[in-house]
Amino acid sequence: MAKIYIAGKVKGLPKDQVAKKFEIAAKTIKDAGHEPVNPFEHIDELNQSLISNGELPLSDDDTQQRNEILKICLDLLTECDHIYLLHDWQDSSGATFEKQVADAFNIPVYGTN
């Protein structure tokens, strides 16, 4: 079973739309017998934990916090066997960078929507 990181556009889209497309990709990966790694879900859980501890959540709108989010995502990515690119990955500077990192680490593309 391979661990497969999901990459796609997040910034500027409604949270429910992003959650849905990442969930669909995770189900596709799971149905194929692999372990999906959903960075959107991971960051959302981290933010819920921060909020429950009385802290502010990480925000895409703040450059420093966006860089922190990207570092967390890159850590997740480099632990994976493959990257799964959503149909809109090229519209995202973050997902484009994740693809470049995957290429640098020889992490192959699993598939695209």
pLDDT band, very low/low/confident/very high, at 113 (cuts 50, 70, 90): very low
CA gap 81, 50 in Å, rounded: 29
Q: Exposed/middle/buried for 96, CB within 10 Å: 0-12, 13-18, 19+?
A: middle
Whole-model pTM? 0.93
Q: In total, how many domains does the chain have?
A: 1
3-9 average pLDDT score:
97
- CA distances to 63, 96, 105 from 108, in Å: 29, 14, 9
Domain that holds residue 84: 3-112
Q: What is the pLDDT of residue 112?
A: 57
DSSP states of the chain as a string? --EEEEE---TTS-HHHHHHHHHHHHHHHHHTT-EEE-HHHHHHHHHHHHHHTTPPPP-TTSHHHHHHHHHHHHHHHHT-SEEEE-TTGGG-HHHHHHHHHHHHTT--EEEE-
- pLDDT tens digits, one per residue of 88-108: 999 999 999 999 999 999 999
Domain with 88 in it: what CATH number?
3.40.50.10400
CA gap 45, 42 in Å, rounded: 5
- pLDDT tens digits, one per residue of 22-57: 999 999 999 999 999 999 999 999 999 999 999 999
